[in-house]
């Protein structure tokens, strides 16, 4: 995800390790004249986060969100299916999510290799799915912000690194980084 703006991280912290929304929130609030309430540390969060094991199954998994509200960011089914295949080949269990209008896309991306939740998760359920995930792979800002709110790292195919192999490498790095 884009990490070009926001607050400076603590010394010794890689700025890419802090989700953009978490770094930008204090600046946005201050610009609008809002401060934090007493006891609020400013961290993005969703409470309570629902248990979604009945949708995803147990165990670790990576979430792939192939669609995006901005058509310029969305990836086609072939790209998403290739990404799912590479993640599965690397030993990851994959859950594919999308909105109700993306059910055909998520079905094609999931194939027989991944759990298809296309059209089955609203924002609250998606927060639960992301909360239990090890990683989110998406080019969509909304799910990336929700992942930040539940503490799940997100990576995505940026315009300068669109190939699935680079995204899988980035995912592998994110999965092995200390959280």
pLDDT at 166: 76
Q: What is the CA radius of gyration of the chain?
A: 16
Distance, CA of 172 to CA of 179 (rounded, Å): 13
| pLDDT tens by residue, the chain, 179 residues | 333 344 455 566 666 666 676 677 767 767 777 777 778 776 767 778 899 999 999 889 999 999 988 888 888 899 899 999 999 999 999 999 999 999 999 999 999 999 999 999 999 999 999 999 999 999 888 899 899 889 899 988 665 556 677 777 777 777 777 54
pLDDT at res. 9: 55
Global confidence as pTM: 0.75
Closest C-alpha to 108, from 137, 65, 78: 78
Residue-range domains of the chain with CATH: 1-44 (no CATH), 53-176 (3.40.50.2000)
Please state the φ and ψ torsions of residue 72, each to the nearest 5 degrees.
-70, -20
């Amino acid at each position: 995800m884009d990490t070009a703006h926001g607050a400076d991280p603590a010394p010794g912290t890689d700025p890419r390790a802090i989700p953009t929304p978490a770094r930008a929130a204090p600046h946005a609030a201050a610009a609008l004249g809002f401060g934090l309430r007493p006891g609020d540390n400013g961290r993005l969060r969703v409470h309570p986060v629902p248990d979604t094991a009945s949708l995803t199954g147990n165990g670790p998994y990576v979430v792939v969100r192939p669609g995006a509200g901005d058509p310029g960011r969305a990836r086609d089914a072939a790209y998403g299916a290739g990404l799912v295949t590479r993640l599965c080949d690397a030993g990851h269990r994959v859950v594919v999510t999308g909105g109700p209008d993306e059910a055909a896309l998520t079905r094609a991306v999931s194939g027989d290799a991944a759990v298809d939740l296309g059209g089955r998760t609203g924002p609250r359920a998606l927060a639960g799915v992301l909360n239990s995930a090890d990683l989110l792979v998406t080019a969509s800002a909304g799910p990336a912000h929700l992942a930040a709110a539940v503490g799940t790292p997100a990576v995505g195919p940026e315009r300068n690194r669109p190939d699935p192999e680079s995204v899988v490498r980035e995912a592998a790095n994110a999965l092995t980084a200390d959280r």
